[in-house]
Every structure is written in structure tokens, then in C-alpha cells.
Amino acid sequence: MGLFDKFKQVFKKEEKKDLDVYDKGLEKTRNVFISEINILGHKYHKVTDDYFEELESILIKADIGVKTVENFIERLKKRVKDENISDTEYLKDVIIDELFMIYVGDENLTDKINIQDNGPTVILMVGVNGVGKTTTIGKLANKYKNEGKKVMLVAGDTFRAGAVPQLEEWATKTNSLFIGRENADPASVIYDGLQEALKEKVDIVLIDTAGRLQNKINLMNELEKINKVIGKFIPSAPHETLLIIDATTGQNGISQAESFKEITNITGIVLTKLDGTAKGGIVLAIKEEVNLPVKFIGLGEGVNDLKSFDIEEYIYGLLKDLM
């Protein structure tokens, strides 16, 4: 019995709270991906080199990533040989099993947020402009407020036009505390924010930052300065540095992750607009190619559509029509 077979047995017994959201949010990807896999199964009843070639093309189109797909196909071929598999219908279960293994693997990458028992949990949000960073912070504020936590938003993206008032608007909407000044030194704003957070006994501090990746050196220096300021107030902070990636940008998102990993310590990914693309396989590519866990995914426009990432619910949403 494969790992995924065991998962399916457990999955049937457990009630997964966000199944419908994952189902709907991954519909575009699933409709394209599954239909092509099924067509391939009708075209080829036996496993051949041509079958593998077309399967490789389908996986790449789902944005699983060229390098990830190449490794995946090699593992699949090995299992076909070792287990003497010839029937393409049976191979579907093996494909699901191996896709699941891409994310789970042998490594213990946690998709959980490092919430602190004592003092504020500081979450630094980074990402290029236009990926939905400020909106994501607002949705996270809403999530934590609904969980009964005291939340503060800190506007560290001080020079982009409209960024500070936009974040302040989210603070008002979510009834969160807010610290921000336009055209000020980001580190000084964050200094003020953390000072206030400690005084007000805040549970969660969400810090926005600039997204100017064009000049890596400047951004790296800015983030280093911010990290030093945070570390002076709370020695173990930031507890998370989350990179926001727009799923609709596809492989460009992988490039952004690689670039940000070079300039600061990224602990996880927030993948927005996953419902708006047929290339939802990018979740697997991020894990395999950048070795970062996805911590949250955006599966709709609504304020409650940002969900904590769950690999089982994701696999269900992606592949349920093959199960």
C-alpha cells in the first residue's frame, strides 16, 4: 500500500473543514489537469515512452515546474519498472501517490505558524509590489481577530503611494491597532510599532514591507535593518518571514522566491489567487525547487478565503476526480 493509499483511508474517516473551499478554489487547475490525464489514459492503454512524454508535458502545463517534473518522471519510471506496471489506469494511483510524495517527502517542513505563548508573535510580510501583500495582511488580521487575538498592523512600506492609508483601512476594517507614517524610515516606524505592541500586550504583529526587488542590495539592507530593530525588542523575532506570491504569475513566482531567499530568511510562502489560475501545481514546484513550505493559500476574493495550507485538502482539491 502506497503512502497516498494510507492517506485516503485516514482521509475518509476525518472531516476536513475546508474541503469545499479547496474543491472550488482548485477547480480551474483540476478541470484542465484531470481531463488531460484522462484523455491520455484513453489514448494509451499501455505504459510507453510516448505516454511518459505526453504526461511530462501535462505536468509542466500545470506549472509543477520543469525540474520537479523531470525528477517526478524518473521516479515514476523506476516504479513502473520495479513494480512491473503496464496498465495506464493502474498507473493513475501511482501518479497520485508520487505527487503527494513531492510535498511530503522525507523532510519535516511545517506549514504551521510559529505562534508564541508569551509576548507578541511578529510576522514580517515580504513580496514584490502587485502580488496582493497589503490585502493578504488584512485577511490575516481578520483571521487572527476571529480567533480572539489582539492584532496590530505596522506599515513598513512607507514610500509607495497609498500603501500606508491602504493598510490603515484594513486595520479599521478588522478592528486592529495600527502604526504607520508615510515617507518615514521603515525601521523607525517598526520601532514605534513594536514599542506600542509590547505596551498594549498585542498577540500578533503583522508588518508590511517594501517590494522593490529591482535593486536587491537596497532591499537587503532595508530588511537587515528591520530585522535588527525587531530583534532588539524581541530577541527571537521575527518569528515568521512570509513571502507573498501571486499564483497566476506561474514560474515567475519561483524566481521571486529564489531572489528573496538570497536577501532574507524566508520561513514560508503565502500563495494568493490560486483560484484564478489553471496552474495550481505551483504549490508542488515551490516545495521541490525552493524548499519552502506554503503556509497560507488564497482561494477567493473574500476576506475569509485565505486559508491555512493543508497538503491533504490541496491534494484532494487537485486530484479528487482521479480518486
Largest CA distance in the chain: 68
Average pLDDT over residues 29-48: 90
- A 10 A CB-CB count for 105 gives 12
Amino acid (one-letter) located at 168: E
Q: Residue 106 pLDDT > 70, yes or no?
A: no
Q: What is each CA distance from 299 to 24, 60, 121, 142, in whole angstroms? A: 8, 22, 25, 15
3-state secondary structure 72-129: HHHHHHHHHHHCCCCEHHHHHHHHHHHHHHHHHCCCCCCCCCCCCCCCCEEEEEECCC
**What CATH number does the domain located at 121-310 have?**
3.40.50.300
Distance of CA 310 to the CA centre of its chain: 10
Distance CA 171, CA 175 (A): 6
Question: Would strands 121-126 and 240-246 be described as parallel, antiparallel, or unpaired?
Answer: parallel
**In CATH, which superfamily holds the domain spanning 17-104?**
SRP54, nucleotide-binding domain (1.20.120.140)
pLDDT of residue 107: 56
The stretch 191-220 carries a mean pLDDT of 92
Domains of the chain, residue spans = 17-104, 121-310
Mean pLDDT of 4-11: 52
Instruction: Give Cβ neighbours of residue 259 (< 8 Å, ≥ 6 apart).
Output: 213, 216
Q: Which amino acid is at 300?
A: G
What is the per-residue pLDDT across 69-82, written as a single tens digit (0 to 9) for each? 999 999 999 999 99
Contacts by residues 13-17 (CB-CB < 8 Å, ≥ 24 positions apart): 16/310, 16/312, 16/313, 16/316
pLDDT at residue 314 tops 50: yes
Spatial separation of the C-alpha atoms in residues 180 and 183, rounded to whole Å: 10
Task: Return the number of other C-beta atoms located less than 10 Å from residue 175's C-beta.
Answer: 11
Instruction: Give the integer Cα–Cα distance in Å for 185 and 192.
Output: 11
> What pLDDT is recorded for position 180?
97
For residues 30 and 23, give the distance between their C-alpha atoms in angstroms, rounded to a whole number.
Answer: 9
Place of cell 476526480: 321
Mean pLDDT on 50-79: 91
| pLDDT higher than 60, residue 21 | yes
- Per-residue pLDDT for 1 more than 50? no
Euclidean distance between CA atoms 54 and 165, whole angstroms: 50
Percent of the chain with pLDDT over 70: 93
Predicted confidence (pLDDT) per residue in 241-272, tens digit: 999 999 988 888 899 999 999 999 999 999 99
Q: pLDDT at position 25, please?
A: 87
Question: What is the per-residue pLDDT for 13?
Answer: 42
d(CA 72, CA 210): 36
User: How many angstroms separate the CA atoms of 262 and 224, rounded?
Assistant: 12
**How far apart, in whole angstroms, are the C-alpha atoms of residue 9 and residue 246?**
33
| Cβ–Cβ < 8 Å for 208, 125 | yes
With a cut of 50, say whether residue 115 has pLDDT above it. yes
Name the band, by pLDDT with cuts 50, 70 and 90, for residue 65: confident
Q: Are 288 and 71 in contact (CB under 8 A)?
A: yes
- How many other CB atoms are there within 10 angstroms of residue 28's CB atom? 16
Q: How confident is the model at residue 134, as a pLDDT? A: 92
Q: Summarize the confidence of residues 196-207 as an average pLDDT.
A: 97
Higher per-residue confidence, 178 vs 215: 178
DSSP for residue 247: G
pLDDT one-digit tens code per residue, 122-155: 999 999 988 889 999 999 999 999 999 999 999 9
pLDDT band at 212 (very low <50, low <70, confident <90, very high): confident
Number of H helices, E strands in the chain: 13, 8
Q: How far is CA 128 from CA 54, 95, 314, 321, in A?
A: 34, 34, 25, 35
Lowest mean pLDDT among 138-152, 232-246, 289-303: 289-303
- What is the structure's pLDDT at 216? 84
